[in-house]
Amino acid sequence: MVWTTEELIRVRRALHAMPELALQEYETHRYLLNEISQLNQDWLTIRTVPEVPTAILVRLQGTHPTRTIGYRADMDALPIEEATGLPFSSRHAGVMHACGHDIHMTVGLGILAYFAEQQPKDNLIFFFQPAEEADFGGKHVYDLGVFSGEWRPDEFYGLHDNPQLPTGQIATRPGTLFAGTTEIHVTFTGKGGHAAFPQDSNDAIVAGAAFVSQVQTVVSRNVDPVQGGVVTLGTFQAGTAGNIIAETAHLDGTIRAFTQTNLVNMQQRVRTIAEAIGTMYGVQVDLELIQGGYMPVENDATLAQLMIDYFQADPTVAFADIAPAMTGEDFGFLLQQFPGVMFWLGVGDPDHPLHHAKMSPNEGALAAGVDAMVGFLNYRMEQ
């Protein structure tokens, strides 16, 4: 490791305090560029992408390259009011790094800082990616043709922090690691009116409530229980007062499955239910189902096994086998274009899951993550 633990913590706390939503990561972008510009530039090239202005790519020229290896860290945060009480809490009201992307960026910078001092044998590309939680930034950048020519990785790696695992533990598996997801955005529009005269209205809340209940049958009745799936509705906004019948109800949610086939079937069921509710309750239905880049995260079997073998043989790494999770990740899209591996990095906060307002990763994971990945990349470059 080139950066000390103290330097990693300094960077992580600065990033934690400046969380920004998808495609708005301008302060984060400036901060990362400033840190990267202070590294040794001898074999380092920085590239920005005008069409996705918060993205940053960095290429390190290898000494005797046989391949180009990509490493991705995501940058965006979530619309959550932080409640950790930490002295370096979010400075941005209602926005929080509650998914640990501050950890991801810091580990990425730590690995980059190491190879900016120790020139790698193979070429390395670091991709600081906007918009993982929404708007699938990885797909946007890929679709622009950015990963071509000398910026084309032969293989791609990335990590996600995991509060349920002990600090510094690494876990992954060959094949499916995370689900594919689809965002649900639906508005039911009926006819508002006085609470006393329901016969003259079409109540959007009743339609929305029926939708909430009915979509519960998608997983319980339409998905093979052995394969599993998720339909969660995370928002329901309707109404202004107890004695007014609401004209509109808006709900947002997510559909998840480990295979694209199951995901598409679930999308169709959700669409059918929404349309049927429109007919049953006499409301207009505006439904958007957006998958974008949130494909199932499929680890390349050979590269994942290589990584697992390396980590299991390294006495400094605590490695654990793990089952797939229903988390989504738009890295799944990039792993459909390039072989590669995503892995979990334990951050030891079992009482506060990802997306919780009190989630507080243990910073001991930073050095563990950098050391493990630097070790693996050096090993991979000998193959």
Ligand X SMILES: CC(=O)N[C@@H](CCC[C@H](N)C(=O)O)C(=O)O
Residue 361 contacts ligand X per CB under 6 A: no
Minimum Å distance from CB 182 to ligand X? 6
DSSP states of 177-191 = EE-EEEEEEEEEE-B
Q: Is 133 annotated as a binding residue?
A: yes
Binding characters for ligand X, 93-112, by CB under 6 A (x = yes):
------x-------------
Q: Which is nearer to ligand X, 125 or 359 (CB)?
A: 359
Residue 294 contacts ligand X per CB under 6 A: yes
Q: Is 355 annotated as a binding residue?
A: yes
Minimum Å distance from CB 101 to ligand X? 9
∠ at Cα 134 (128, 136), nearest 5°?
55
For tokens 């009745």, what's the residue?
Answer: 221
Q: Is 160 annotated as a binding residue?
A: yes
Q: Where do the DSSP E strands lie in the chain?
A: 44-48, 56-60, 68-74, 123-129, 155-162, 170-172, 175-178, 180-189, 193-194, 230-238, 244-245, 248-257, 284-290, 297-299, 319-321, 340-346
Distances (CA, A) of 37 to 1, 40, 184, 195: 19, 8, 40, 62
User: In 252-330, which ranges are continuous DSSP H helix?
Assistant: 260-281, 301-313
The residue from 354, 365, 367, 381 that contacts ligand X (CB under 6 A) is 354
Residue 293 contacts ligand X per CB under 6 A: no
176 contacts: CB under 8 Å, gap ≥ 6: 258, 259, 296, 297, 298, 299, 324
Q: Quick one: which segment of 63-71, 222-230, 273-281, 322-330 binds ligand X (CB under 6 A)?
A: 322-330
CA–CA dist 94, 319 (Å, integer) = 35
Q: Quick one: which segment of 107-115, 200-208, 236-244, 327-335 binds ligand X (CB under 6 A)?
A: 327-335
Residues 242-281 that bind ligand X (CB under 6 A): 254
Tokens of 27: 């302060």
Minimum Å distance from CB 126 to ligand X? 19
Residue 329 contacts ligand X per CB under 6 A: yes
CA–CA dist 151, 360 (Å, integer) = 35
Minimum Å distance from CB 280 to ligand X? 27
CB of 306 closer than 8 Å to CB of 380: yes
CB of 240 closer than 8 Å to CB of 163: no
The residue from 25, 122, 155, 183 that contacts ligand X (CB under 6 A) is 183
Q: Which is nearer to ligand X, 36 or 107 (CB)?
A: 107
Residue 181 contacts ligand X per CB under 6 A: yes
Q: How many CB atoms lie within 10 A of CB 129?
A: 30
Residue 363 contacts ligand X per CB under 6 A: no
The residue from 328, 340, 346, 348 that contacts ligand X (CB under 6 A) is 328
Binding characters for ligand X, 118-147, by CB under 6 A (x = yes):
---------------xx-------------
Q: Which is nearer to ligand X, 44 or 295 (CB)?
A: 295
Q: Which is nearer to ligand X, 1 or 326 (CB)?
A: 326
Q: What positions carry a catalytic annotation?
A: 74, 133
Residue 327 contacts ligand X per CB under 6 A: yes
CA–CA dist 305, 314 (Å, integer) = 14
Q: Is 254 helix (H, G, I), strand (E, B) or coil?
A: strand
- Chain residues that interact with ligand X, rule: CB under 6 A: 99, 133-134, 160, 181, 183, 254, 294, 327-329, 354
Binding region for Mn(2+): 99, 101, 133, 160, 355
